[in-house]
Amino acid sequence: MSHDRAGAPGPSASRRARLAGAMRRLAWGLVYRLYEARLSRDVAAGALPHHVGIILDGNRRHARLAGLSDPGEIYRRGAAKLDEILAWSAELGIPMITLWVFSPANLGRPEAEVGGILGAVEAKMRALVADPHISRRGVRLAAIGRRDILPPALLDAIDAAEDATSGNEGMTVTLAIGYGGREEIADAVRALLRDCAAAGMDCASAAEAVTPEAIRRHLYLGDMPDPDLIIRTSGEIRLSGFMLWQSVHSELHFCDATWPAFRRIDYLRAIRAFQRRDRRFGR
């Protein structure tokens, strides 16, 4: 037993270390909350993005750091982060969010991992339909991407979510599933040319009909506004094909945090960075 200078029993070294650690965590927690509150005030005073796109990256890296090996659990944690993004966006009044969760290239990953991703997305879509917050916030759920590469159970969940929320007008949340930017543009051009053929146009006339405006109308959601801000988590500095057509004037923000570890403070920092930029739209 350790003793203080007066000879009375004192706390052990390990107890003192635990106490010091707890005090440090308490102090850092207070600093974090104060900083988050200041960020919230700064962001609320500025112009907010109307449409935010997020590339959900870093699930596997987060799993390695957390010692996780079960693909289902890894991607369930990533899917759970969606609830927080919806809550943060609703608090700020951001009306449109697009989240890229799965690309055609991901089909090349191990079968268990692909199943973990798609299973987590299916479960989340079904959970969102039953979530009372979705109805209270007026969230409309939508999906973009190549449905022919998705399993039937996931397609059923997507259809059910879109049907159940089609009348909501408070916020639009779009999940990019089986989505690739090049695939979207190729699909749009094919759809445009099919329309030209159905109208009896010859090749020369069809070629003249291929304009940026015409292609845009044939994108997966042709009436979707372009994203003002695109965020990518996990430190990678590239778009990897996310909304290639729509991102021509988007502001980009790359965050080091992995997707499951993405915090409200990271979201606020991204929006504050957006607010500090001079958007000239190519002018």
Q: Which residues are tagged catalytic?
A: 57, 106
Run of H or E residues at 217? helix 212-217
Run of H or E residues at 254? strand 251-254
Residue 84, SS3 per DSSP: helix
Exposed, middle or buried by CB within 10 Å (0-12, 13-18, 19+), for 248? exposed
Helix axes 111-130, 152-165, angle to 10 degrees: 20
Tell me the HSE value of 73 on the side-chain side, using a 13 A CA sphere: 8
Are the beta carbons of 188 and 181 closer than 8 angstroms? no
**b/e per residue 2-22 (b: at least 16 CB within 10 A):** eeeeeeeeeeeeeeeeeeeee
| CA pair distance 81, 66, nearest whole angstrom | 16
Provide CB contacts within 8 A for 51, sequence distance 6+: 95, 96, 97, 98, 224, 225, 226, 227, 228, 229
Token digits for 33?
């909350």
Phi then psi dihedrals of residue 141, to 5 deg? -100, 135
| CA pair distance 93, 80, nearest whole angstrom | 21
